Amino acid sequence: MSSNKHHEMSEKVRSGYKEGDEDETLYPLVLVNGDSKPIGRFQRGDAVIFYNVRGEREIELTRSLTEKGFAEFPVEKGLDLHFATMIEYQKGLNVRVAFPPDDVIEGTLSETIARHRLWQVKITEAEKAVHVGYFMNGKRDEPFPGEERIIIPSRKDVKLFDEAPEMSIEDVAAATIKKIRDPDVHFICTNFPNVDVVGHIENEQAVVRAIEAVDYYTGRVIDEAVKNGVTAIICADHGTVEKWLFPDGAVNTGHTDSPVPFVLIGDHGDVKLRKSGELTDIAPTILQLMDIPKPEIMTGTSLIKKSSWHKIKQKKRVLLLILDGWGVNGRDIGNLIALSRTPNMDRLCDVYPYTTLEASGEAVGLFPTTVGNSEAGHLHIGAGRKIFADMVLINHAIEDGYFFHNEAFSDVMKAAKKNRRSLHLMGIVSFFSSHGSIRTLFALMEMAKREDMEKVFIHAMLGRRGEMPESGANYIRKIEEKAAELKLGKVASVIGRYWSMDREYNWDRIEKTYRMLVMGEGIPVPERS
């Protein structure tokens, strides 16, 4: 295959910015030849590698391309793709998995509570269901005995949640208060998603509304807990909008490396907390409060100072309230939390024992200086010990060379080569996304070169989260340059992640991506000879 001597796709993405296009919601762009025919469509017997990690936003698109009898929207029959995914997105998918999971993480907070035959409930809205369920339970889908999950539907009447920053928080809070009033419920975990979800959208007024909604309902829920004698903990999984601006003043809609708050609320007198800790310390603290022995496998330690242990009034009932994305930043500049009205959080942090927890980088199993994310955050809150992230393990595999001999990758490439079919590399293009890295794409391109692949097409997904404005065009340019260096590969399509990485069964979005990949539908971008 000839290399990309020009930069059609990156130039098209860049020109779109002048017309108001944004990376996150970019409509599909499709490379076409001189006859206006789409280049690089998925065809029968082709090989596909979906190189994203995390997995919860990758399931729907993978299903549409691989599932026999898929019926959510019309699909081509008999594609019979040789399909590999970087990690296991969901059990039972018709794919090869390059880096299969270890066994589920044992000895988590939820498993420990269940073993003591206590009733627990997880409450959030659909946007964060996978986090309080799958990730917090150590990558286990099924609830433990005595575990109830209440998932409030997320609104479907808005395109983006800056149109409704309150989301479904009123219903989430109401469900939480109902369980607080139920003496048979011993542990309640509630997640308010608003700050994280709305914080990924460049709309400052909407973010402020989200912050103030979370503060208001935090006050209502905590007051109810105190009234009912339930010990409450307020924390977060990572930061976002407390660092709303990059140093040059550009808006940062991504996650941050900030610590997060930890507030212990209850009638425990003058109990003292350690000056700092990590997310892994939350589970041991909860178990101590509930008078449940900590499993040996938990390496986290209670945040309550040993000198205060005798003052703890053990409660069989504890509420963990996770304010998703609520970071701590001592500076007011660019700090939307500091600029918002938060009387309840201000009061609670002043009155009750308070400390901060590390929620990024090595503290949550990520590369040093890496920002936190909801997956790693909830995983470590639940596990009570450090779990290395998939991206860290994959990066090590690239460095030591194992990556280039991975059987899943090798087999799909060889199947395509044997039948003179194309290889498609599909995924997020970013250096900062928790869903994947452009470094992984480059490693796959290099492997395809080693395997003497003839036809390689790249299908890029763009996102704004954690990126500088207009970064998408820069990433596509880097891919085009890499293809030119290798003399292999073409960027065949580009689309915003809004359309391709969904987890709320918005099948109309996934269908748009599917039709781009298989039918070549999208805005045509002529290839230059």
Pairwise CA distance, residues 252 & 402, whole Å: 35
Structure confidence at residue 154 (pLDDT): 92
Nearest residue to 461 (alpha-carbon basis) of 439, 433, 484, 481: 433
Structure confidence at residue 324 (pLDDT): 98
Pairwise CA distance, residues 507 & 82, whole Å: 23
396 and 382 in one domain? no
Residue 4 pLDDT > 60, yes or no? no
Residue 224 pLDDT > 90, yes or no? yes
What is the per-residue pLDDT across 245-288, written as a single tens digit (0 to 9) for each? 988 888 999 899 999 999 999 987 788 999 999 999 999 999 99
Could you tell me if 30 and 524 are in contact, meaning their C-beta atoms sit under 8 angstroms apart?
Answer: yes
117 and 95 in one domain? no
Q: If you average pLDDT over residues 317-344, what whole number do you get?
A: 97
Structure confidence at residue 5 (pLDDT): 57
Structure confidence at residue 247 (pLDDT): 85
Instruction: Tell me how crowded residue 223 is: count the other CB atoms within 10 A of its CB.
Output: 16
Instruction: Tell me how crowded residue 185 is: count the other CB atoms within 10 A of its CB.
Output: 19
Find the helix or strand (DSSP H, E) in which 477 lies: helix 471-486
For the ranges 90-94, 108-112, 212-216, 324-328, the lowest mean pLDDT is seen at 90-94
Structure confidence at residue 300 (pLDDT): 97
Residue ending a domain, among 338, 354, 386, is 386
Q: Is residue 143 part of a domain?
A: yes
257 and 160 in one domain? yes
What's the number of domains the chain is made of? 2
Q: If you average pLDDT over residues 220-238, what whole number do you get?
A: 97
Q: Is residue 323 part of a domain?
A: yes
In terms of C-beta density within 10 A (0-12 exposed, 13-18 middle, 19 or more buried), how is residue 316 classed?
Answer: middle
Q: If you average pLDDT over residues 375-392, what whole number do you get?
A: 93
Residue 181 pLDDT > 50, yes or no? yes
352 and 289 in one domain? yes
Pairwise CA distance, residues 59 & 85, whole Å: 10
**β-strand partners of 121:** 148, 188
Residue ending a domain, among 386, 418, 434, is 386
In terms of C-beta density within 10 A (0-12 exposed, 13-18 middle, 19 or more buried), how is residue 506 classed?
Answer: middle
482 and 372 in one domain? no
Residue ending a domain, among 345, 366, 386, is 386
Structure confidence at residue 260 (pLDDT): 98
Pairwise CA distance, residues 359 & 357, whole Å: 6
User: Positive or negative CA dihedral for 60, 61, 64, 67?
Assistant: negative
Structure confidence at residue 469 (pLDDT): 75
- On the CB side of 218, CA atoms within 13 Å amount to 33
Q: Is residue 373 part of a domain?
A: yes
116 and 81 in one domain? no
Residue 192 pLDDT > 90, yes or no? yes
Per-residue tokens: 91: 């059990």
Pairwise CA distance, residues 157 & 517, whole Å: 27
329 and 208 in one domain? yes
Residue 314 pLDDT > 70, yes or no? no
Residue 446 pLDDT > 80, yes or no? yes
Q: If you average pLDDT over residues 192-208, what whole number do you get?
A: 96
How far the first Cα of the chain sits from its last, in Å, is 13
233 lies in which domain range?
Answer: 109-386
Band of residue 453 on the pLDDT scale cut at 50, 70, 90: very high
For the ranges 25-29, 192-196, 269-273, the lowest mean pLDDT is seen at 269-273
Q: If you average pLDDT over residues 302-322, what whole number do you get?
A: 86
In terms of C-beta density within 10 A (0-12 exposed, 13-18 middle, 19 or more buried), how is residue 375 classed?
Answer: buried
Compute CA distances 462 → 38, 99, 174, 482, whole Å: 20, 24, 36, 17
> Residues of the chain with pLDDT > 70: what percent?
97
What value does the CA radius of gyration of the chain take, rounded to a whole number of Å? 24
pTM of this prediction? Answer: 0.73
Which CATH number belongs to the domain containing residue 231 in this structure? 3.40.720.10
In terms of C-beta density within 10 A (0-12 exposed, 13-18 middle, 19 or more buried), how is residue 354 classed?
Answer: middle
Provide the 3-class DSSP secondary structure of residue 372: coil
Structure confidence at residue 387 (pLDDT): 92
328 and 442 in one domain? no
407 and 367 in one domain? no
In terms of C-beta density within 10 A (0-12 exposed, 13-18 middle, 19 or more buried), how is residue 507 classed?
Answer: middle
Band of residue 226 on the pLDDT scale cut at 50, 70, 90: very high
What is the CA angle 83-12-496, rounded to 5?
Answer: 45
Compute CA distances 463 → 24, 60, 457, whole Å: 4, 18, 20
Which CATH number belongs to the domain containing residue 412 in this structure? 3.40.1450.10
Structure confidence at residue 425 (pLDDT): 98
Per-residue tokens: 393: 């393990």
Report the DSSP pairing between strands 120-125 and 187-192: parallel
DSSP 243: G
Q: Is residue 3 part of a domain?
A: no
Structure confidence at residue 6 (pLDDT): 66
Residue 3 pLDDT > 50, yes or no? no
418 and 367 in one domain? no
141 and 253 in one domain? yes
Residue 220 pLDDT > 90, yes or no? yes
Residue 225 pLDDT > 60, yes or no? yes
Residues contacting 519, CB < 8 A, separation 6+: 38, 41
Q: Is residue 2 part of a domain?
A: no
Residue 148 pLDDT > 70, yes or no? yes
Structure confidence at residue 2 (pLDDT): 40
Q: Is residue 401 part of a domain?
A: yes
Residue 291 pLDDT > 80, yes or no? yes
What number of H helices and E strands is found in the chain? Answer: 17, 16
Query: Rounded mean pLDDT of the chain?
Result: 93
Residue 478 pLDDT > 90, yes or no? yes
82 and 20 in one domain? yes
Instruction: Tell me how crowded residue 315 is: count the other CB atoms within 10 A of its CB.
Output: 18
Query: What's the one-letter identity of residue 91?
Result: K
Could you tell me if 101 and 127 are in contact, meaning their C-beta atoms sit under 8 angstroms apart?
Answer: no
Provide the 3-class DSSP secondary structure of residue 523: strand
Q: Is residue 510 part of a domain?
A: yes
What is the per-residue pLDDT across 77-114, written as a single tens digit (0 to 9) for each? 999 999 999 999 998 999 999 999 876 799 999 999 99
Q: Is residue 213 part of a domain?
A: yes
Could you tell me if 1 and 490 are in contact, meaning their C-beta atoms sit under 8 angstroms apart?
Answer: yes
